[in-house]
Chains A and B, each alone.
Chain A
Amino acid sequence: MSSTGDDRTAARPRQRLRSLATLVAIAVVWEAAKILFALPSYQLPHLHEIAADFLREGAGGERWLSIMALNAGYTALESLIGFALGGVAGLVLAIGFAQSRWLERGLLPYVVASQTVPILAIAPMVVVWLGTSWFSKAVIAAYLTFFPVTVNMSRGLRAVDPDALALMRALAASPRQIFFKLRFPASLPYLFTALRLSATASVIGAIVGELPVGSRFGMGVVIINAAQYYNWRPANLWAAILVSALIGIAFYHAVAAIERRTIGWARAVPAI
């Protein structure tokens, strides 16, 4: 009812408190495990060691905080472009599938097959074909992004209430009107569910795309380097992992925020 909106805003500070409590709990478990199992730092560094790594100066005299920020920016941008490319491609495929069973039967097996091939095997080939620039990374990100959108959206476009369609028919609506005034808006909750999945997948795609030799920037490059020097400075890899995760989380929340603004009418929008 109309009070739901107020409940949601009232829930915000409580939600923040809950997130903070969760973080504290994770930190406690982390440090407790380190003491309990006597884990050395190369297995599990202290949290303050990871924090300190951001303040350490790198080889070029820059602090790691700014090195991480620069590379994270690269990865985020590649992910965003890949997300957009993949989202549009996925949407086009979904609309095609929803319009034509014939097209769906012909193409869907290949769409599914594309996702069973390990992305790690495909990434180097894409980099060979398209070069080591940001574009090849975005394409790899798009490769992971389009699939959830295609699957969910083609389902959403079909899952329209038969009476809602009968109403359109009774009002002599054109196919175009039926699509834009009924099918598309009705399937937006399906689209956003897919975009939430795609948001995190696109970051993974971009990072995997940065792993092959020849890339110069991005979290994938940072991770490869940190892994090489892991025994010497384990906290560096942990810091890189943390930053990579934060990009994914930020993407997810950005999609969720847009979802709340766009389809606030849908009762089933999750709180986070």
Chain B
Amino acid sequence: MAAPIIELTAVDKTFESRAGATEALRAISLAVEAGEFVSIIGPSGCGKSSLLRIVGDLVQPSAGTVRVNGKSARQARLDRDYGIVFQTPVLYEWRTVLENVKLPLELAGRPRGERERRPPTLLRLVGLEEFAGHHPWQLSGGMQQRVSIARALALNPSILLMDEPFGALDEMTRERLNQELLQVCAETAATVLFVTHSIAEAVFLSSRIVVMSPRPGHIDRIVTVDLPHPRVDKTRALPRFFELVTEVRQSLREDPRLAAGREGQDGPGAR
């Protein structure tokens, strides 16, 4: 087996504030292989976003080690190994759609030729080439998030970090974007770490699902998704799809702290 592309060992995270210390993550160990699509699912406040940000060197762990591509998370960030997508599109509204996608190339000081050629290609990939000259506010939420994905792919990162990217979208848009995301990932061969609230989304997208417990978050279980590729609309109708959804839901419920009346959170807006 090849060395994992992301390797977390015994990671703890405690947030200190005036109100006291909050233990967000406890003893997280996880290895992600190159090309995997790993979802992190769990109840609100279980530290999934913190975990993602620790991998991306945006938040520092209180204990434990993070290795990415065989180096520290900080070095991986400085080497621009990451593409990142947030729950909100975080587009710069003074830039056009095309200029937003160009931003990472500018920051990395890529040569002019690449800066001019790459963004239109990326916009074609997410189906928005006609909107290159538009400003972000002229686009729907789903379209904005596609721009944000195109921007994340601009530097051809080996790792894509996605923090509930479709959490604010309606169910139909979300399903369509799920499928588009898989197509995009197939073309770019990026490894994806994907935080979500939606069980169905996690099952549809992932090769593995990391189920987390409530605060302090730790890994309850890892569900391997053995659905066939490519995943298409019909995949959602397979009996195996429902079995996996049930399995993940059960894992979320089994936690004694969750069992107290909490239903599986697979709808949007669970936040």
Cβ of A271 to closest chain B Cβ, rounded Å: 17
Residues of A within 8 A of B82 (CB): 170
Cβ of A110 to closest chain B Cβ, rounded Å: 30
Given known A2-B138, A265-B135, A267-B137, contact A181–B103 (CB-CB < 8 A): yes
State whether B88 touches A163 (Cβ < 8 A).
yes
Interface size bracket, A side: 20 to 34
* CA gap between A267 and B137 in the complex, in Å: 8
State whether A167 touches B94 (Cβ < 8 A).
no
State whether B107 touches A173 (Cβ < 8 A).
yes
A250 at the interface (CB under 8 A from B): no
A6 at the interface (CB under 8 A from B): no
In the complex, which residue of chain B has the Cβ closest to the Cβ of A182?
B92
Residues of B within 8 A of A265 (CB): 93-94, 135, 137
* CA gap between A168 and B103 in the complex, in Å: 10
State whether A181 touches B138 (Cβ < 8 A).
no
Per-residue interface assignment for chain B, residues 55 to 69, with 1 indicating a CB less than 8 Å from any chain A CB and 0 otherwise: 011100000000000
Tell me which of A1, A164, A172, A267 contacts B92 (CB under 8 A): A164
In the complex, which residue of chain B has the Cβ closest to the Cβ of A1?
B138
25 contacts between A and B (CB under 8 A): A2-B134, A163-B86, A163-B88, A163-B90, A166-B53, A166-B86, A168-B107, A169-B58, A169-B77, A170-B84, A170-B161, A171-B84, A171-B104, A171-B107, A172-B77, A172-B79, A172-B108, A181-B92, A181-B103, A181-B106, A181-B107, A185-B92, A265-B93, A265-B137, A266-B93
A182-B92, A185-B94 known; 11 other A-B pairs, CB under 8 Å? Answer: A2-B138, A163-B86, A163-B88, A166-B84, A167-B90, A170-B56, A171-B104, A172-B80, A172-B108, A263-B94, A265-B135
User: Which of A's residues lie within 8 Å of B, judged by CB?
Assistant: 1-2, 161, 163-164, 166-173, 177, 181-182, 185-186, 188, 263, 265-267
